[in-house]
Amino acid sequence: MPVTASRATLARVRELEIARRLPADGCSLDDARRYTGGLARHHYENFRVASWLLPRRFHQAFYDVYSYCRWADDLGDEVGDAAASLELLDWWERELDRALVRQARHPVFIALAETIADFGLPAEPFRDLLRAFRQDQTVRCYADWEGLLDYCRYSASPVGRLVLAMGGYRDPERTRLSDLTCTALQLANCWQDVARDYAKGRIYIPLDLLSSRGLSEQDIGAGRFDHRYRELMRDLVARTRRLFEGGLPLAERVSPEWRIDIELFSRGGMAVIDAIEAAGYDTLTRRPVVRRSTQMRLLGRALAGRWLGGGAGRSERAA
């Protein structure tokens, strides 16, 4: 394995949106934090990384973790060449290694190194995410439901585990509930983006479930929406809803300052599958989205729950 990524491969990074306004390697901590904050607040405008309801002391940590994930995701998804993406993901992990020993050079890792130290974040979730992004370069579909859930173990669950660690939670039960929620969020996005993912050469619908409805990969590529696809998506949405419902108790097992954001993650994901249902399960010829009015209703519901419920619920921290 080369010590650094090739110049040609690194040059691809400069073409990505994430690299705009990127400070030079070895920049100051303040410059690094300004960059990660800006990236988190403005990159992909429909993603709000840190709710304004979350205590301000956690915002920078969210920005730094988000920036790590955003870069890794784009290195895996936006380069357009699997070999180059794998090389860049190896480079990104080497930069992570440097950050873990406080020798960070890249601006994202200069900021992230402080967050890792301040909150005692574990290294494993960061590495697990890279495993998932590497897997995306070599695996284009999954044979069965169990294989897809195993992929979510690396592509989705690590984010929730990092969020829990920021709040001081590391116990098995909260981790289990977080994994259910994050897996459901990942799957909801997969069902919403079936057509988009196919355009990238990926199918996340398990092949055995696809064939059980008399469908093939070619039907997905042709955007062939009919009763077979409707019933397939109905099944996938029902499975995903059960995962969301299984993870919902997590919101009552964290401190009040975290509760509303965690509940909004779950409710927002459930709103995505509600939108899929409302569209008649057609995610081949359209992309169901959550209306802004629905988002505001969810926010109002969560706020009302906080004001009416106060500090009730089990919010003790794990030892």
Question: Is 83 in the same domain as 163?
Answer: no
Q: Report if residue 94 sits inside a domain.
A: yes
* CB-based contacts of 222, cutoff 8 Å, min separation 6: none
Q: How far apart are CA 231 and CA 213, in angstroms?
A: 8
Q: Write out pLDDT tens, residues 101-150.
A: 999 999 999 999 999 999 999 999 999 999 999 999 999 999 999 999 99
Total structural domains in the chain?
Answer: 2
Is 98 contained in some domain?
Answer: yes
Instruction: Write the single-letter amino acid at 295.
Output: Q
Do 180 and 34 sit in the same domain of this protein?
no
* Average pLDDT for 201-222: 96
Task: Tell which of 92, 122, 152 closes a domain.
Answer: 122
Q: What is the pLDDT of residues 59-82, one digit of tens each?
A: 999 999 999 999 999 999 999 899
d(CA 223, CA 276): 16
pTM greater than the 0.85 cutoff: yes
My answer on whether 159 and 116 are in the same domain is: no
pLDDT band at 304 (very low <50, low <70, confident <90, very high): low
CB-count exposure of residue 253 (10 Å: 0-12, 13-18, 19+):
buried
Domain that holds residue 229: 139-309
| pLDDT value at residue 8 | 80
Residue 259 has pLDDT above 90, yes or no: no
Residues 106, 40: one domain? yes
Same structural domain, 30 and 104: yes
CATH of residue 58's domain is: 1.10.600.10
pLDDT at 262 over 70: yes
202 lies in the same domain as 296: yes
Percent of the chain with pLDDT over 70: 86
Q: Clarify whether residues 118 and 143 are in a common domain.
A: no
Query: Could you read off the pLDDT of 159-172 as tens digits, one per residue?
Result: 999 999 999 999 99
For residues 108 and 81, state if they share a domain. Answer: yes
